[in-house]
Chains A and B, each alone.
Chain A
Amino acid sequence: MALMQRRLIRAEADFGLTSKLWRVNWLFVLLLCALAGVGYVALYTAAGGSPEPFATKHILRFGFGLVIMLTIALIDIRLIARLSWLVYGGGVALLVLVLRMGHVGKGAQRWIDLGGTLWQPSELMKIGLVLALAHWFHKASWERVGNPLFLVVPIVSALVPVVLILKEPNLGTAVICAVISGVVFLGAGVRWWKVALVVAAIAIAAPIAYDHLHDYQRARITTFLHPESDPLGAGYNIIQSRIALGSGGLWGKGFLQGTQGHLNFLPEKQTDFIFTMLSEEFGFAGGISLLGLLAVITMGGMMIGLRCRHQYGRLVAIGISTNFFMYVFVNIAMVTGSIPVGGVPLPLVSHGGSAMIMVMIGMGLLMSVHVHRDVEFGNEGEDQ
């Protein structure tokens, strides 16, 4: 196999800062810059044709995020692996903290005030969960993963954050967490029938869980099914978003010419509904191009996983990429009225500082996997 013919990096001396920088996937970085550039344009138009108050901040934040990303990219993946459970523990601790004393917004406790900005610990939790699961499966052979007892710890590790996030309550993020965990399990070699069993169990439990949902979450689901039933409340967003998208047509109304957005008919246009804003002005042509860019970035992340030579890196890459994918999917599905409104931003495009930093930290981890794809790190897959 071509992958195996690459030289395994065994000695630290081989692997200085320069060679690491050389190994950074600069094309991928360029794609991220392009995405942030789209964000700049979108926020410029969201502010009615002005870099203030969103666009300038956005690009400054992205610059800061880029530095963080590259810094993490240079950190040895083996060191990151050692810290996996620490990050996971920190995420759980913050989630517990937020449940006890978090800032309540929109009927849920999910924010933590950190130096004036509100952070959602669930974002950190998703990264911690990916790292922890990757660490657990890193040294596990195919046979060992087949042992049901071996799966007890990772299943509990996935359930704890999911349940805590559900209690906030934040149904959307909990579902995303569960999906990411599922993908990591799959990548680690958990047998198909076990995964199928869990999916079936969830399908059966969903109607029961619906009874225990918060009123506002149920309202979202019913509003999604019949947006006209609540045109002033949650349905308003969906209706307005579809009007804006529809009025954009194939080629759009042109830069700064989007009327629905500019007349404030479109809610939260600089955050959750930024995609609508763009697609109104640049039409289906613009929307599908942005979707294409997002797809390329997602696939790039999966690619990094495929090229990595150690299980830890592979699992981290697939988990982080899936996280990015879920952001994209939930956001665009939401604005096109394909799934219930979820309050998920479009990564690197939507306004919002803490979310962007967390996305860039994830990208940094992805890049570290890429930089350290050939390091010697349990590559033989032996059980300890």
Chain B
Amino acid sequence: MKRENKRSGVFTRRALLVAGGQLAALGFLGARLYQVQVEEGARYSTLAEANRISSRLVAPPRGRLLDRFGVVVAGNRQNWRALLIAEQTTDVPATIEAFSRYIPLAESERARIERDLRRHRRFIPIVLREFLSWEDMARIEVNAPELPGVLVDVGTTREYTFGPHLAHVAGYVAPPNDADVAQDTMLALPGMRVGRAGLERTHDATLRGRAGAVQLEVNAVGRVIRELDRQEGTPGRDVTLTIDAALQEQVLGRLGEESASAVVMDARNGEVLAMATNPSFDPSLFNSGVSQAQWVEWTSNRRAPLINKAASGLYAPGSTYKMVVALAGLEAKAITMNDKVSCPGYLDYGDRRYHCWSKGGHGMMDLRGALKNSCDVFFYEVARRTGIDKIAAMSNRFGLGVKLGIDLPGTRQGFVPTRAWRAGQGKLWNIGDTIVCGIGQGYLQLSPLALATMTARLATGRAVEPHLTRAIAGAAVPGGKPEDWPSLGLPERMLSAVREGMWSVINEQGGTATIAKLEIPGVQFAGKTGSVQVRNVTREQREKGYKSENLPWELRPHALFVGFAPYDAPRYAVALVVEHGNAGSAAAAPIARDIMADVLQRDPARRTEPPRVAVRS
């Protein structure tokens, strides 16, 4: 019994202690209740008995996208709309019915409204109709007594100044889905949009801002009597792009009707000045949902308007790759700057014969001559001596086959083969594969953006990364200065040897692209052409199966051109691909010349304000 006494005594003491603690906690709640109800309650008690307090969110305006000179690329336009707040009407279907007597609602609109009503809480306004005319608004206001819970307010809608011309860069916005709303409840507000592609997507968080809240006193029918409290939201911040929108339009003009893409970069810091893709699409169509018919049209178009060919289109680089092969050979000491290779028009290796594009051959070729004439045999030999892995390593240093730092979603990194990759497939690497790589064919797959990056790095010797963002809310982002980028670590004499070869392509009698010579006195363009036979390149072909007797347009080789200018003080790099444009020298070089002429004339990298020149639209 003694033990039991000890035990029950302990229990009694402790139970009393716990009970005391519980009473204290409940007492704290009572005090808290007094504080909330009586002390703070005085703040609300001045309100008239019939009125109540409603808290509403104020959507922040979405930040704008500006081009490098501050021209609005994506902005907001006023949008008068009719909203319905479900908790302020007693009969939601009847209100919608009454509304549709004044403003007819289509079946699809009703379905959307019902879906929104199901998805959102009752105090969140639902959009009944956007883009109201003055007449519509008058009709709603006059009949307001019949439309409880319906209110007209002004919101914003996204507007793209340059429409299709910058669609692939700016991207587009679309209504948020359930997952977006779950992440950020503010998106449930009417008219909110989410960046779905391009820089709208990259900078979505920056552009979105944060909602503010107002506490309103409302009367029995939900009419606002006065504002009690307001917390300002944060408007979305503006993002300044590196793009020169007027230049972008000029570049698109130069591309004409071709299915083509071009990238213009500031070679010293990697700023993308223009990224043009033809054909394109109207980004504002996504704003309120794309129709099925429109979608079918886009996706069935063999020129693929939704694909940003400049960043996501992959092509064999062809002869534009030869500079990288040359540098790999020079660095590996597989060749010297003065080594000569004899070109009889072909190279025999193993049991295969590899042809030069010139049937008769080029004779004895050194590096400079081989670049000038685009001699294939020379680069077959350089590639054979250097080996694929060293070529791949050099490619990677030039931004080829690696992930670029570009701030654009959906960019494809392309592909440069290695022995290890082939071994991963369980196959042995063929020297023959190395040989065709020497002229940019075989397994190589690169985007125009990667080729532009390569050209910029060749021109400046710095490992610049292409980028599209120049400033956020007016504050410059890192990467705008040449010193922000490290050196490639290649000896200047090697780089200048290659640059000299590129100079001779355009500026020396007999070069493959003398047509690209600039007519601007004192400024010289250096570049390289490329033509690649089409093999498994377009999606269209993959679907149909490749047959050489198929449509002629499909069969023509792609025409490529890369180049930089001015030769003596490189500033701008350009890369251009004309799909099925035939020879690079005939189809791509003249366009590249015109683009470069436009660029040099505008000189956007050196200006803080756009030049006053009439822009061809």
Binding site for B on A (CB under 8 A): 141-142, 183, 186-189, 228, 230-233, 236, 239-240, 242-243, 245-250, 253, 259-260, 263-265, 267, 279, 283-284, 287-288, 291, 294-295, 298-299, 302, 305-306, 309, 311, 314, 318, 322, 325, 328-329, 332-333, 336-338, 379-382
List B contacts of A230 (CB < 8 A).
Answer: 185
Q: Is the CB of B11 within 8 A of A287?
A: no
Q: Find residues 12-47 in chain B having any chain A CB closer than 8 Å to their own CB.
A: 12, 14-19, 22-23, 25-26, 28-30, 32-34, 36-38, 40-41, 43-45, 47
Q: Please name the residue on chain B nearest to A299 by beta carbon.
A: B19
Inter-chain pairs besides A245-B41, A305-B15, 17 sampled, C-beta below 8 Å? A141-B3, A187-B11, A231-B231, A247-B52, A259-B50, A265-B54, A265-B123, A267-B121, A284-B37, A291-B26, A295-B26, A299-B19, A306-B12, A314-B11, A336-B29, A336-B32, A381-B7
List A contacts of B57 (CB < 8 A).
Answer: 231-232
Known: A279-B37, A322-B18, A338-B32. A311 touches B7 (CB 8 A): yes
The smallest beta-carbon distance between A167 and chain B, in angstroms, is 21
Q: Is the CB of B23 within 8 A of A232?
A: no
Q: Is the CB of B7 within 8 A of A325?
A: no
Q: Is the CB of A325 within 8 A of B53?
A: no
Docked CA distance A180–B6 (Å) = 23
Known: A259-B52, A302-B15. A141 touches B7 (CB 8 A): yes
Docked CA distance A381–B1 (Å) = 8
Q: Is the CB of B15 within 8 A of A187?
A: yes
List A contacts of B518 (CB < 8 A).
Answer: none
- Residue B403 is within 8 A (CB to CB) of chain A in the complex: no
Q: Is the CB of B18 within 8 A of A291?
A: no
Docked CA distance A338–B16 (Å) = 25
Q: Is the CB of A291 within 8 A of B53?
A: no
Closest 7 CB pairs of A and B: A381-B4, A233-B185, A284-B37, A231-B213, A246-B41, A302-B19, A247-B44
List A contacts of B19 (CB < 8 A).
Answer: 298-299, 302
List A contacts of B188 (CB < 8 A).
Answer: 232
Q: Please name the residue on chain B nearest to A379 by beta carbon.
A: B4
Q: Is the CB of B36 within 8 A of A264?
A: no
Q: Is the CB of A253 within 8 A of B54?
A: no
- Residue B100 is within 8 A (CB to CB) of chain A in the complex: no
Docked CA distance A187–B22 (Å) = 14
List A contacts of B45 (CB < 8 A).
Answer: 247, 249
List B contacts of A249 (CB < 8 A).
Answer: 37-38, 41, 44-45
List A contacts of B34 (CB < 8 A).
Answer: 284, 288
- Residue B49 is within 8 A (CB to CB) of chain A in the complex: yes
- Residue B8 is within 8 A (CB to CB) of chain A in the complex: yes
Q: Is the CB of B36 within 8 A of A253?
A: no
Q: Is the CB of B37 within 8 A of A189?
A: no
Known: A246-B40, A299-B19. A329 touches B29 (CB 8 A): yes
Contact sample, A vs B, 22 pairs, CB 8 Å cutoff = A142-B6, A142-B7, A189-B10, A189-B11, A232-B186, A242-B40, A243-B44, A243-B55, A246-B36, A246-B41, A249-B37, A249-B45, A263-B54, A284-B38, A287-B33, A311-B11, A325-B22, A328-B26, A333-B29, A337-B36, A380-B1, A381-B3
Q: Is the CB of B7 within 8 A of A302?
A: no
- Residue B211 is within 8 A (CB to CB) of chain A in the complex: yes
Docked CA distance A284–B122 (Å) = 28
Known: A243-B53, A298-B22, A305-B15. A284 touches B44 (CB 8 A): no
- Residue B596 is within 8 A (CB to CB) of chain A in the complex: no
Q: Please name the residue on chain A nearest to B185 by beta carbon.
A: A233
The smallest beta-carbon distance between B211 and chain A, in angstroms, is 7
What are the interface flags for B413-456 relative to A under an 8 Å C-beta threshold, 1 for contact and 0 otherwise?
A: 00000000000000000000000000000000000000000000
Q: Is the CB of A183 within 8 A of B18?
A: yes
- Residue B87 is within 8 A (CB to CB) of chain A in the complex: yes
Q: Is the interface of A mostly helix, strand, loop or mixed?
A: helix
Q: Is the CB of B37 within 8 A of A302?
A: no
List A contacts of B213 (CB < 8 A).
Answer: 228, 231-232
List B contacts of A239 (CB < 8 A).
Answer: 55
Q: Is the CB of A189 within 8 A of B26?
A: no
The residue that A302 contacts in the complex, of B22, B38, B43, B51, with Cβ under 8 A, is B22
- Residue B124 is within 8 A (CB to CB) of chain A in the complex: yes
Docked CA distance A187–B10 (Å) = 7
Docked CA distance A295–B29 (Å) = 11
Docked CA distance A48–B45 (Å) = 23
Q: Is the CB of A247 within 8 A of B22?
A: no
Interface size on B, residues (CB 8 A): 54
List A contacts of B52 (CB < 8 A).
Answer: 247, 259-260, 263, 265
List B contacts of A243 (CB < 8 A).
Answer: 44, 53, 55
Known: A232-B211, A332-B29. A248 touches B122 (CB 8 A): no
Known: A248-B37, A263-B87, A279-B37. A329 touches B25 (CB 8 A): yes
Q: Please name the residue on chain A nearest to B54 by beta carbon.
A: A265
List B contacts of A284 (CB < 8 A).
Answer: 33-34, 37-38, 41
Docked CA distance A302–B17 (Å) = 11
The smallest beta-carbon distance between B509 and chain A, in angstroms, is 68
The residue that A279 contacts in the complex, of B14, B22, B33, with Cβ under 8 A, is B33
Docked CA distance A258–B45 (Å) = 13
Q: Is the CB of A314 within 8 A of B8?
A: yes
Q: Is the CB of A187 within 8 A of B23?
A: no
List A contacts of B53 (CB < 8 A).
Answer: 243, 247, 260, 265
The smallest beta-carbon distance between A307 and chain B, in angstroms, is 10
In the complex, which of the residues A233, A243, A288, A337 has the most CB atoms of chain B within 10 Å of its own CB atom? A243
Q: Is the CB of A299 within 8 A of B37?
A: no
Q: Is the CB of A142 within 8 A of B43?
A: no
Q: Please name the residue on chain A nearest to B186 by beta carbon.
A: A232
List B contacts of A259 (CB < 8 A).
Answer: 50-52
The residue that A232 contacts in the complex, of B18, B41, B124, with Cβ under 8 A, is B124
Docked CA distance A283–B55 (Å) = 22
Q: Please name the residue on chain B nearest to A137 by beta carbon.
A: B7
Known: A283-B37, A305-B15. A232 touches B185 (CB 8 A): yes
Q: Is the CB of A186 within 8 A of B14?
A: yes
The smallest beta-carbon distance between A188 and chain B, in angstroms, is 8
The residue that A189 contacts in the complex, of B7, B17, B186, B211, with Cβ under 8 A, is B7
Known: A232-B211, A329-B26. A187 touches B18 (CB 8 A): yes
Q: Please name the residue on chain A nearest to B12 by beta carbon.
A: A306
What are the interface flags for B39-83 relative to A under an 8 Å C-beta threshold, 1 for contact and 0 otherwise?
A: 011011101011111110100000000000000000000000000
Q: Is the CB of A250 within 8 A of B123?
A: no
In the complex, which of the residues B3, B47, B122, B231 has the most CB atoms of chain A within 10 Å of its own CB atom? B3
The residue that B29 contacts in the complex, of A242, A265, A338, with Cβ under 8 A, is A338
What are the interface flags for B285-307 relative to A under an 8 Å C-beta threshold, 1 for contact and 0 otherwise?
A: 00000000000000000000000
Q: Is the CB of A291 within 8 A of B4?
A: no
Q: Is the CB of A246 within 8 A of B44?
A: yes
Docked CA distance A232–B192 (Å) = 14
